[in-house]
Amino acid sequence: MLITNIQRFSLHDGEGIRTVAFLKGCTLKCRWCHNPETINKNRQIIFHKSKCISCMMCRKTCERINKKFNILNNIPDICENCANCLKCAEVCPSGAIEIIGREYSSEDLYDALIRDREFYAESGGGVTFSGGEPLLRTSELIPVMKKLSEEKISIDIETAGNVRWGNFEIVLPYIDKFLFDIKCIDENLHKYGAGSLNKQILENFNKLYNTSRNSLIVRIPVIPGFNADEKNIEDIALFLKDYPQIKYAEFMPFHATASHKYEDMNLKNDFEDYKNMDANSELIKRFRELFKAHNINIK
Ligand code: SF4
Ligand code: SF4
């Protein structure tokens, strides 16, 4: 399986200190995605312009770069018509061209995760699988989950929920908490923002609630220009009223920290003019009140 990052000492992806593995590949394509490098399931290159020393090694390696080399600033344009063969990254001496996605076997991943077991034990933390959509890689993750479970290590999964129900079912025996994203209820808005309808997501949520409700944490990204208004947040509250025994819901205010990734990957960034949203802003406070008014346990 391809992993973009193993983040240690995370305090925001479940309870306690957690080590988070970010898997590559997702079934959604959210316009605001904070981890756009995890959407594509294949290895790919990312270009850090500021690290380029204009040595031209990549230009000699790749015909496509040769044709598009920008002689004005002496840096390559690697994103035009790139075939993703990764050869340029192999010759780049400065790290300006970086390969995103490292292949891990189940054993490699287990070894990387078990290293932090002391921190899990001390803090009540554990491992969180994130992405991308980790539930797309259940066949490779199950052996890791089995071994972590044998060691009594807590396992959480961050999921957007847009996978077959079977992918949930198969991991149920191992998962401590599901951090389940609900972005909006309106299906057309969901398609506009995330590139796909939300029917399967809401059906999976319902099934998951009926099998392991106490392990469900609902995460609601609050995105300006998408769902950050009372109508959409109230729709979510009304939906969640039918699921009173979820562990809790929490708002995830938009942050702009991924904007450099969009630039490095030459991706269109619909949110380049937006700043970080304050978790203590009046807007978020109003949304919290709205949830409380519907008796939804909000963190
Ligand atoms: S990944 Fe391959 S095709 Fe793409 S820019 Fe690099 S060498 Fe050229
Ligand atoms: S090989 Fe790397 S450092 Fe050299 S020109 Fe290409 S991107 Fe820049």
* All domains in the chain, ordered by first residue: 2-41+103-293 (3.20.20.70), 44-100 (3.30.70.20)
CB 22 within 8 A of CB 5: yes
The predicted structure's pLDDT at residue 72: 73
* Cα of 38 from ligand 1 centre, angstroms: 19
The predicted structure's pLDDT at residue 81: 80
The predicted structure's pLDDT at residue 128: 98
C-alpha–C-alpha distance, residues 14 and 123, integer Å: 11
Please list every protein residue whose CB sits less than 6 Å from any atom of ligand 1: 45, 61-62, 64-65, 78, 82-88
79 CA closest ligand 1 atom index: 5
* Cα of 97 from ligand 1 centre, angstroms: 10
65 CA closest ligand 2 atom index: 6
* Cα of 98 from ligand 2 centre, angstroms: 11
- To the nearest 10°, report the CA torsion of 132, 247, 112, 173: -90
Residues in the chain predicted with pLDDT less than 50, given as ranges, are none
**Closest by Cα among 44, 33, 60 to 97:** 44
* Cα of 33 from ligand 2 centre, angstroms: 28
Residue ranges of alpha helices (H) inside the chain are 57-61, 63-68, 87-91, 106-114, 117-123, 138-150, 165-169, 187-194, 199-212, 230-240, 259-264, 282-293
The predicted structure's pLDDT at residue 74: 82
Q: Is 86 left (phi over 0), alpha (psi -120 to 50) or beta?
A: left
Nearest-CA residue for atom 2 of ligand 1:
85
Q: How many CB atoms lie within 10 A of CB 253?
A: 19
The encoded tokens of residue 277 equal 């949203």
Ligand nearest the Cα of residue 49 is 2
Please list every protein residue whose CB sits less than 6 Å from any atom of ligand 2: 52-58, 76, 91-92, 94, 96-97
64 CA closest ligand 1 atom index: 8
Nearest-CA residue for atom 3 of ligand 2:
52
Nearest-CA residue for atom 5 of ligand 1:
78
The encoded tokens of residue 24 equal 């590559």
Q: Which residues share a beta bridge with 249? A: 218, 298
DSSP string, 220-231: EEE-TTTT-SHH
C-alpha–C-alpha distance, residues 99 and 11, integer Å: 27
The predicted structure's pLDDT at residue 82: 86
The predicted structure's pLDDT at residue 70: 77
Residues 274-283: contacts with CB within 8 Å, 24+ apart?
A: 274/224, 274/225, 277/222, 277/224, 277/228, 277/253, 278/253, 279/251, 279/253, 281/253, 283/222, 283/228
CB 47 within 8 A of CB 264: yes
The predicted structure's pLDDT at residue 77: 82
The predicted structure's pLDDT at residue 71: 73
The predicted structure's pLDDT at residue 67: 82
The predicted structure's pLDDT at residue 103: 96
* Cα of 37 from ligand 2 centre, angstroms: 21
89 CA closest ligand 1 atom index: 6
Question: What is the chain's alpha carbon radius of gyration, rounded to the nearest angstrom?
Answer: 21
